[in-house]
Amino acid sequence: MKGRLISKDVYCLHADVGTDGLFEGIWPIPHGVSLNAYAVKGRKVALIDLVRNQEVASGQIEDGLSSIGLSFSQIDYLILNHLEPDHTGLLKEFGHRNPGAEIIATRKGCDLVKSFYPVENPLRQVKDGDTLDLGDGRVLTFFETPNIHWPETMVTWDSASQTLFSCDAFGSYGALGERIFDDEFDGNEHAFFEGESLRYYANIVSSFSGFVEKGVQKLASLDIKCVAPGHGIVWRREPQKIIDRYRKYASWAKGPAEKAITVIWGSMYGNTEIGLCAVIEGIEAEGVPYVTHRVPDEDISWVLADAYRSSGLVLAMPTYEYAMFPPMSYVLDMFRRKHIHGKKVLRIGSWGWAGGAKKDYDAAIQGLKWESVESCEWQGYPTEDDLKTLRERGRELARLVAG
């Protein structure tokens, strides 16, 4: 793809990766994902970030460089904001073609270059406030933003164009095609990318929300005219929109989130599902919005996104061999990893010859800081009394969420 002009002598080199495979080896990308690198020209040339060493993506980046009259051999500085291989996988090839280019990263970033890639390029460690003068009035400034979302991450600031090159911060899933800027998409498309940015945040960044808040605060004094992330839309018309969106997402980690309920359920033979229907009747009676996800039918990627944005959760599961339904165990393990904290939660479920899910569940949610509605379990098919109780539990949860 051709390089796209952001501002005088600043270009986005955009590549799209298709739907094959899984992002980070875990997360489905049915709409693909974009990989953005950037070129900044002064008397010298800086390339900001790379792409993974994947034939289609690397070819697109090289085509983008060629379209603005550059090649790898003409790069003076390679700035690596983040060392995850989707942004650095091409580094070995780059180093082979241009062994003289200086690689710039944080101290931890330089350590990872040595660990991940056998290159001989000179390395320069930078820290908060360090600068790189490209000449012709073009000075780049570096700010460390650790744990957004690896400990070595930083952002690069170009004061001349007032562009923030943020790598994984302010990113999103979703391939972009020939358009990359926020003012090139209509309202429906923005709604789609907002959903994909939430899913990306919940999957990739949510564990580090405290660091997101610190990073946003650190950058607050900059007069940002363009946010240029490593994945997703380049925000040149409304850069504050994506910053505010990430600030909102980060706030949900401590709660409260949206006044909505995410229902996550699994059922072996339909008995738990019947009880869940009664709970939903109770939620509907209180008028609180909800969404449902059945596991293991639906991937955890979408479950995480809705659970993260919702203040309330319903977890419906049968007992399976004296413990929780295994797909729900996986959900709760991911909730622990991704810090799905501060929720108002109702757990229900049926059991056959013996219970046991409650003990397993109680151990799994230790540390999640949830406010729990009294759970409801029953043997076999729910009785009318069971269904009455379940409806009331649904109403109780909904009232808690509504505040």
Q: What is the pLDDT of residues 22-64, one digit of tens each?
A: 999 999 999 999 999 999 999 999 999 999 876 677 889 999 9
DSSP E strands in 18-158: the ranges are 22-23, 27-28, 33-41, 45-48, 77-79, 102-105, 123-125, 131-135, 138-144, 154-158
- 205-220 pLDDT, tens per residue? 999 999 999 999 999 9
Structure tokens given for 352: 């056959």
pLDDT digit string, tens, across residues 280-302:
999 999 999 999 999 999 999 99
Q: What are phi and psi of 155, to 5 degrees?
A: -120, 160
pTM: 0.95
Each residue of 249-279: pLDDT tens digit? 999 998 889 999 999 999 999 999 999 999 9
Q: Which CATH architecture has domain 258-402?
A: 3-Layer(aba) Sandwich (3.40)
Domain 4-252: homologous superfamily in CATH: Ribonuclease Z/Hydroxyacylglutathione hydrolase-like (3.60.15.10)
Helix (H), strand (E) counts: the chain:
12, 22
Domain ranges of the chain: 4-252, 258-402
Q: CA 295 to CA 215: how far, in whole Å?
A: 35
At residue 21 the predicted structure's pLDDT band, cuts being 50, 70 and 90, is confident
What is the CB neighbour count within 10 angstroms for residue 131? 12
